[in-house]
Amino acid sequence: MDGKTLARLGALVFVAVAITATAIEMTRKDDRQNSPATQARPATERDPLDAELARCSGLGEAGPRDPSCLRVWAESRRRFLGQPAPTSAPAGPTTLFPDAPADAAPDGATPAVQAEPAKPEAR
């Protein structure tokens, strides 16, 4: 076999492999398009939590101050981590700085003031 014939045979094998690979790839694309993972779910099947998360992400900097967003993010974390649902209602929002004095007490009441212990009188 001379070099010219060997080169033609190699080119023919290369073309055959390229055509086969193209045919396989074209059939795989049809399978992926019809798979349930790539099909969009109807709006009736969507989780309402997803819509609320999208709304909160659109709020920008106001999102972390929105109580509804805080609840939705907590629920999302709970689902992601696989924790059971809480059995009781949360106690209330937590403060970032618990030691800082509050500007106003809830319901407009004045904060409770602790009485100082009596000091001995100087004689």
pLDDT tens-place string over residues 38-71: 566 565 567 788 888 888 988 888 888 889 999 9
- Which element (helix H / strand E) includes 7? helix 3-33
- Assigned domain for 28 exists: yes
Domain that holds residue 16: 1-37
Same domain, 52 and 77: yes
pLDDT digits (tens, 9 = 90+) for 23-36: 988 888 655 566 66
Same domain, 54 and 27: no
- Assigned domain for 57 exists: yes
- Assigned domain for 89 exists: no
Nearest alpha-carbon partner for 57 in 42, 78, 72, 44 = 72
- State how many domains the chain has: 2
- Assigned domain for 14 exists: yes
Same domain, 53 and 76: yes
SS3 per residue for 31-72: HHHCCCCCCCCCHHHCCHHHHHHHHHHHCHHHHHHCHHHHHH
pTM of the model: 0.36
